[in-house]
Structure 1
């Protein structure tokens, strides 16, 4: 049963789109299992660059069926905008499947997200303001709107009214905003029903039958391990589970059917939004990483915070996800440094700590302990095998592999689809 999970092993933006696209020709289904349009992947095919926010990366591979699972939250307007953009560029999107149990991001979810974040002021979390958190909150509070609700106007109306009972109290009495009319929301949501209908399916059944038929299914996580609602740097996290366990709950495929879990690691570290970041750089090296690596969020448009590789985080990702392999991306960005620092442990209250502290307080006070590795100056973007890499680049990869606790099976040496060194096949 060849089911693979591919996820971010840092704070997101590790290059998951490139990794998924690399595997796209070998898999039959690519499944997004959590998150919404607060995530983003950039995929470069030839001289074409595609920015995907909600759609699985497999949408660019004609032989592959892309699936939006039940764990994803869907903004229909964003979905159709993205589909239209791909269709205009000649990409066939007709094979897309969307779970009828996926939750809908409504206009009032977006409103609540934006006004709440603004209200928090200095205590803001750094959300994208796209309604993802409030939609997941509605789901847990059992007042959420699911895709299937668009096909029963009576149920849809009842659910919208129930959700707005509380939200309008919040908007009018706390945030001094106008109340939102339920009728207007229902009318807008119903305009999406007919266009969504061809894509809606019982994706749990489809995926399990595919695995029974020995099809290859790839589960693609958004964001990254350190943004997981349970296992990330809470509260500066997303509202879902990007970790490997989320692939099961977000798709309806049981854990016994997953054969491989691949973590995507950037050769350095970045994050978007607020929250602790022990190896963050505020000097010329940080600016250079941002410039050379084109570190700007695909979805947010915000500059990413940049820092050196953090082996403590990598080991943590290996543990909580049960990683079997790593895909190391953006190794080429490090070309030109004489010495490359790598964080091998933290100093917390004068003590050396080699594992991620569970305490939020301790992590906020963690200071990186660095080990310097020799750099290289040779262009590596044309490398096709591991042996083609400069000796120091090889040594850097081997050191990261040893520190991180799982084998590095592929290396990204450039942004293009073909600029990848495959050491061990994932399938």
Structure 2
């Protein structure tokens, strides 16, 4: 093999770093992304839509992201919205405007995949209708139209960004049958086709400067040795295949979604970092084995300010669940983990960790596939002493109180994956670099 080819292969191997949520979302991925993004040339979103929410605090400014990669706070990088993302165009422009009003320049650094699918207003309306039809059996969707848009995609009736910025007469021809399909399914659906087409003709002009073939762009960047950071939206336990189905999102938010959502091969992926909250939270319906519907859950919710960034809904709270986390580690092959919000546990006398399940009296070390079974499991807990000491000013691992270190090391040993970072507060500086 020639030396030039060897150098090329070395540049391509492992030049992409991935950050994924290891639980049900809201783990604090934005904080970890913000940390790593300083070394990135390109930051990417690969799946989901504006049903996700990341918050990044820079100085005294708090930025909220739903469609854009939160690593765009690194003002020297390019932001890529990949083909696996479903885009609500007015929401995208609104997000850009709100964050630029806080002093963040985005437009000059934004690239949008021509293959990304479009979320229309009627997708959102249908999302709400479907939830209403389910009544007490609803899954707790964000009603952002994400599921119906992915349904249009897989039924091959959806419209992509390339369709919008291309020949608009072709876009019109395809838009009408899509509306008619949904109107047949939901007769009460009211869509003003002329008004929608006029609106999207304007959007096409605004969007066109950002649209490129992001697959080719990323492959060229990999060949040039650029550092690429990928932010997974949602989290592993919400994955359409591996999550607590049907109480899941509509995309693959585990490691496979990175390849399909950006068009990159697996061998270019290097570090895969899973983000783990020091306890467990969940928004919406679905099984939650370690949930604490008691004073413990209320304390976690209150101290941790557990409200959804996107939905503003109160998050359900409970103890850390190692059974689900071990499963998440198995699927994603995390090279290291980040533990966030450890400081929220500072006031507890004792801290529990869910280490195994029993289902109908039988020991279960892996989560059952059926949500109904997962909802029936009895959790076996390990109890550790709390530390009753503030950790928010700790900046080195051995600054942590001994019982806090014991908690970290116990979880690390149970999972078999090391913690690289530990978050002990909201600010950029409130993080411990373990190695």
TM norm structure 1 = 0.96
Equivalent residue for 1:67? Answer: 80
Q: 1:30 aligns with which of 43, 47, 59?
A: 43
Report the equivalent of 1:241: 252
Instruction: Tell me, yes or no, if structure 1 residue 168 matches structure 2 residue 183.
Output: yes
Match of 1:97 among 108, 111, 129: 111
The aligned length equals: 420
Q: Deviations over 1:37-87 (max 9, x none)?
A: 000011111222111111101111111111110000000111111111111
Any gaps of 5 or more consecutive residues in structure 1? none
Displacement after TM superposition at 1:169 (Å): 1.1
**CA positional deviation for 1:361:** 3.4
Q: Distance in 2 between matches of 1:371 and 1:295?
A: 24
d(CA) in 2 for partners of 1:320, 1:85: 36
Task: Point out where structure 2 has 5 or more consecutive residues left out of the alignment.
Answer: 1-12
The aligned residue for residue 5 of structure 2 is none
Identify the match of residue 360 of structure 2 among 349, 370, 373. 349
CA contact (8 A) 1:160 1:185 kept: no
**Which residue of the other structure, out of 381, 404, 407, is the alignment partner of 2:418?**
407
CA shift for structure 1 position 179: 4.0
Write the distance in 2 (CA, Å) between the matches of 1:258 and 1:279: 33
* CA displacement 1:260-292 (0-9 Å, x = unmatched): 211000000001011000011111111110111
Q: CA RMSD in A?
A: 1.1
Task: Give every structure 1 segment of 4 or more consecutive aligned residues whose post-TM-superposition deviation is greater than 6 Å.
Answer: none
- Matched with 1:327 is 338
Residue 140 of structure 1: aligned partner: 154
Q: Which residue of 1 aligns with 2:145?
A: 131
Post-superposition CA distance 1:142-188 (Å, at most 9, x none): 1111111112212211221121222111221xxxx144243332222
Kept in 1, the 8 Å contact 2:245–2:370? The answer is no
TM-score (norm 2): 0.95
1:12-58 superposed Cα distances (whole Å, 9 cap, x missing partner): 00000011001111111111000000000111112221111111011
In 2: Cα distance, 1:68 partner to 1:171 partner:
31
1:359-380 per-residue CA deviation (whole Å, 9 max, x = no partner) reads: 3332121121111011111111
Aligned to 1:264: 275
* SS of residue matched to 2:186: helix
Q: Within 5 Å, which residues of 2 pair with 1:306-317? A: 306-317=317-328
Please report how far the alpha carbon of residue 418 of structure 1 lies from its aligned counterpart in structure 2 after TM superposition.
1.1
* Matching of residue 150 in structure 1 with residue 134 in structure 2: no
